[in-house]
Amino acid sequence: MDFNFTAEQEMLRDSVARYFGDHYAFPQRQAVIRSEEGWQPGFWRGLADDVGILGAPFDEAMGGLGGGAVETMIVMEEIGKALVIEPYLDTVVIGGGLLRRCGTPRASELIGGIIAGEVRLAFAHLEPSSRFNLAGVTTSAVQDGSTWRISGLKDAVRGAPFATHVLVNARVRGASGDRAGVSAFLVATGATGLSSREYPTVDGSRAADLKFEGVSAEILGPAGQGCDLLEAAVDEGVVAICAEGVGVMRRLLADTVEYTRQRRQFDAPIAANQALQHRMVDMYIALELAISMTYMATLKLDRPVLERKRAVSAAKVQVGKALRFVGQAAIQLHGGMGMTNELAVSHYFKRATMIESELGSVDHHAARIEQCDAAA
């Protein structure tokens, strides 16, 4: 199988890397996470107008670049290298993936808003007792005439403080209160009955706990039949976050190798120590395994459901384990200064720790692989 990128894909990588290098250097990022807003509206607009990557996975007929999963993987890896805070994953990958599958005029309208940089989405799927089960939710949706009313709680909604809309998975209830299936809903962040408690996250982003009290919402897809749509879109998100993890690990390894070449003990760089060389080789091997599994999962996103789910979860397990090993090894080889806020490696370690459990932990995805094997 040919894993080489096309000339167009290499051009996309180069343009994104160059733009991030010019607008998202580490000191600039530090200033952003300390700011009151917590993100850069101008940078987000630049992603739409200057490099056009908000339209990377969408058809050219919609105003996008006509790319696919590989282009998304390329962009997300560069996002990992630059530690970009802005909500590309939730807006373009998960939200855009769900809207693409809906195929309605309203969905097309929202996709146009995403491509133009006007619509930003946050994905509200976690609840106190749901873990990572998209169907295990108590948040409910009841039809009220031509609209729907959402009630319930959602925890740790990443990017909610700077979103224009929230994607919510909720269980549909009939007029008699009977429980039906799960659907995805769209809620405007300024809607009546929606309250939030905002806070910073350990990796420098912002999140919020959301409370819905009879909030007006738009349904996406058939009522009670949205779980398959959600799962397919979230699988795209899992592979994308694996690619982000690869970008994070590339920087952790590169920074560690450079540091060990500069740091000297007993009149020699510590990189000359054979034990440290072995550790960095182990880091490199873990990274290469993560890259291979991410490539494999990316190429299997359009395969039959069980094959797709198994490939996606296998990648997340491998990447999750690699993130822990590479991150901890990078901190150890930097010594105490590796945990200081002034050094970039500490921020890459924090993001690596978050990615490890985002959209499903290693244990969750290992159990999902077993479920796929049992159903095969």
Domain boundaries, the chain: 7-120, 122-224, 228-375
Strand partners of residue 268: 265
Query: Among residues 368, 282, 291, 340, which one has the least CA distance to residue 3?
Result: 291
Instruction: Write the pLDDT tens digit of every residue in 312-331.
Output: 999 999 999 999 999 999 99
Taking domain 122-224, whether its CATH number is 2.40.110.10 is answered by: yes
Instruction: Write the pLDDT tens digit of every residue in 119-170.
Output: 999 999 999 888 888 888 999 999 988 889 999 999 999 999 999 999 999 9
Query: Among residues 225, 161, 220, 221, which one has the least CA distance to residue 194?
Result: 161
What's the confidence (pLDDT) of residue 354? 97
Looking at every residue in the chain, the average pLDDT score rounds to 93
Query: Among residues 275, 253, 273, which one has the least CA distance to residue 265?
Result: 273
Question: Can 122-224 and 228-375 be said to share one CATH topology?
Answer: no
Contact (Cβ atoms closer than 8 angstroms) between residue 344 and residue 259: no
Of all helices (H) and strands (E), which one includes residue 130? none
Q: How sure is the predictor about 2, in pLDDT bands with cuts at 50, 70 and 90?
A: low
Instruction: Write the pLDDT tens digit of every residue in 330-352.
Output: 999 999 888 898 999 999 999 99
The pTM of the full predicted model, rounded to 2 decimals, is 0.95
Strand partners of residue 165: 121, 188
Helix axis angle for 344-357 and 227-262, nearest 10°, is 150
Mean pLDDT, residues 6-18 taken together: 95
Matching residue, tokens 């200033």: 31
| Percent of the chain at pLDDT exceeding 70 | 98
**CA separation for the pair 332, 330 (Å, rounded):** 5
Determine how many CB atoms are found less than 10 A away from the CB of residue 81: 22
Query: Among residues 40, 44, 11, 16, which one has the least CA distance to residue 28?
Result: 40
Contact (Cβ atoms closer than 8 angstroms) between residue 282 and residue 271: no
DSSP 8-state assignment for residue 5: P
Instruction: Give me the CATH topology for the region 228-375.
Output: Butyryl-CoA Dehydrogenase, subunit A; domain 3 (1.20.140)
Architecture of domain 7-120: Orthogonal Bundle (1.10)
**CA separation for the pair 182, 169 (Å, rounded):** 7
What's the confidence (pLDDT) of residue 174? 62
**CA separation for the pair 166, 189 (Å, rounded):** 6
Q: How sure is the predictor about 222, in pLDDT bands with cuts at 50, 70 and 90?
A: confident
Strand runs (DSSP E) across the chain, as ranges? 121-124, 140-144, 147-158, 165-173, 179-188, 194-200, 206-220, 264-265, 268-269
What's the confidence (pLDDT) of residue 223? 80
**CA separation for the pair 327, 55 (Å, rounded):** 32
Q: Which amino acid is at 281?
A: V
Instruction: Write the pLDDT tens digit of every residue in 43-84.
Output: 999 999 999 999 999 988 888 888 899 999 999 999 999 999
What's the confidence (pLDDT) of residue 128? 85
